[in-house]
Amino acid sequence: MRAIIQRVTRGSVSVANQTVGAVGDGLVIFVGVTHADTPAEAQTLARKAAHLRIFEDEAGKMNRSALDVGGEVLVIPQFTLYADCRRGRRPSFTEAAHPDQAVPLIDQFVSGLQEEGVPRVVTGIFRAPMLVAIHNDGPVTIFLDTDAL
């Protein structure tokens, strides 16, 4: 699994001009799933994201996690994180998992965040055309891949 994690002052996702999820201070996490991923990867990624120390402490050092600051999390399913752009100009998405496999793993990731103690987790809608608004704080953007954890 892959994740792009952005520290935000606020974020929201809309589908068909309706806001389906919004957060204040916290994280927006784009999550992609590939064929080899299992619930173990979803749990590992959730644990890492929840405890990632990317919020500043009193000294201005990134030393606090979303759990430490009571940060909310908006999770956006993002199959394009597995885009292969090595050949030609059109990305290939063959490495992205089929929705039948990806949806349960995204749900497992969300459950994992909740189990770790994230106070509020909201999501986009899988396979829907989404409009995501992000107020990136810092900016802080972190890329995680379970193959490298």
Which residues are tagged catalytic?
Answer: 78-80
Q: What are phi and psi of 95, to 5 degrees?
A: -80, -15
Quote the CA–CA distance of 147 and 28 in Å, as a whole number: 21
Where do the H-state alpha helices sit in 17-117? 39-51, 66-69, 99-116
For residues 105 and 111, give the distance between their C-alpha atoms in angstroms, rounded to a whole number: 10
**Cα–Cα distance between 113 and 33 in angstroms, integer?**
16
Q: Which of 45, 35, 32 is nearest to 82 (CA)?
A: 32
